Structure 1
């Protein structure tokens, strides 16, 4: 049996900062199924050296690294029942 092709897309450009988890959240979709991705603040600072751990700085770092972050999300996503992934 051939492996099912994962159809993860990112039509929703919104992202938000979660202060309690110190991460930036964004969403991907596999058909109508919404998948949440949380990008750890430390990961954003690693991708963007010199970034401070303030909300506005982490959101800006996320925006600068968007293509790379989406590729990481596609690598993590398995197409199973899991609905939340942490990129750290």
Structure 2
């Protein structure tokens, strides 16, 4: 079936420095953790705020979801971490 992303919710995890979002494979939830290094914020990486990261996520959403779906098709686990490497 593959992973789908019907829920547009995302949240910033300051402790782990990532943006979290979910996808679904049928009735199973798949959690994704996107490293902040992926975002090209106008501010320096250290000074970027939660709002900066979430705004960047929204702007890059189509590409992020495509990369997330590709990563899931390879791993098919319930939690997937995405880094800058996944976008190259």
TM-score computed with the length of structure 1 as normaliser = 0.81
Q: 5+ unaligned residues in a row in structure 2: which ranges?
A: 84-88
Pair member with larger Rg: 1
* Aligned residue in 2 for 1:43: 38
Structure of greater relative contact order (alpha carbons < 8 Å, 6+ residues apart): 2
Structure 1 pair 51/86, CA: closer, same or farther in 2 (3 Å)? farther
Higher helix residue share: 2
Q: How many residues align?
A: 80
Counterparts in 2 of 1:28 and 1:12: CA distance versus 1, 3 Å: same
Question: Which segments of structure 1 move beyond 3 Å, counting only runs of 4 or more?
Answer: none
- Structure 1 distance, partners of 2:79, 2:72, is 9
User: TM-score, normalization: structure 2?
Assistant: 0.81
